[in-house]
Amino acid sequence: MLGKTNMIFYEPGQHKEHGFSQDPFKAFCSPRPIGWIGSIDNHHRTNLAPYSFFNAMASNPPQIIFGSGSRPDGSKKDSQRNIEDTGQFTLSIVGHALKEEMNATSIALAHGESEFESVGIEGAASYLINPLWVAKAPIAFECVYRQTIDLESWDSAQRNYALIGTVVGIHVSEKVIVNGKADVTLWQPVSRLGYYDYATITEVFEMLRQ
């Protein structure tokens, strides 16, 4: 088959040969919503961290998925470890007003140390499960863990996983509801692009299905 002119073709992992200074893959998969994952360990110690390999996969019942890479030493990140141990997690939605706090919680603390405490984020109690959610978040899900998928990885020490959960409870601020509908421009969800870039939604257009 003939290649198209004015298009670059590259095989993932070989991007530098084509002039990219950094792997552009995540920029191509933009925007990605950010799932701010709350969990607890077996000793009820709280944890909070952002994950942008995140999305909804079904709505009846609502199910979400997020991707977790291992730490450089090959160990699982705290959110994954806690969720697999306890079977529960929360997922708070990051509005524009919370972007700095969200970023601060990406710090790699020792297992058992809480980003709620170190960053100074107020946690709210869940109704159906034990982990906290972010009290100032416009929306938060209470989730029950279903399964982990062991993903491919190029490096046997750097592992990749996807975790799936069912949303069993939803908290939503009355401030973002207008005429019975959620208005995203009122919380302006923060999404991750490539590199260190982010975007928010400030405008919406409607397109009815044919």
Ligand X SMILES: Cc1cc2nc3c(=O)[nH]c(=O)nc-3n(C[C@H](O)[C@H](O)[C@H](O)COP(=O)(O)O)c2cc1C
Q: What residue ranges bind ligand X (CB under 6 A)? A: 34, 47, 49-53, 67-69, 77-79, 103, 106, 108, 192
Does the N-terminal peptide bond of residue 12 adopt cis geometry, omega within 30 degrees of 0? no
Output the smallest distance, CB 59 to ligand X, in A: 21
Nearer to ligand X (CB atom), residue 158 or residue 185: 158
Nearer to ligand X (CB atom), residue 100 or residue 174: 100
- The pairing of strands 54-59 and 62-69 is antiparallel
Does the N-terminal peptide bond of residue 138 adopt cis geometry, omega within 30 degrees of 0? no
Among residues 116, 114, 170, the alpha carbon closest in space to that of 143 is found at: 170
Tokens of 104: 């601060």
Output the smallest distance, CB 107 to ligand X, in A: 6
Nearer to ligand X (CB atom), residue 33 or residue 138: 33
Q: Give the up-direction half-sphere exposure of residue 188: CA atoms within 13 A in the CB hemisphere.
A: 9
Output the smallest distance, CB 5 to ligand X, in A: 35
Rg (CA), the chain: 19
Output the smallest distance, CB 155 to ligand X, in A: 14
Nearer to ligand X (CB atom), residue 3 or residue 12: 12
Torsion of CA 32, 54, 117, 39, to 10 degrees: 170
Output the smallest distance, CB 88 to ligand X, in A: 15
Nearer to ligand X (CB atom), residue 109 or residue 168: 109
Among residues 30, 7, 8, the alpha carbon closest in space to that of 19 is found at: 8
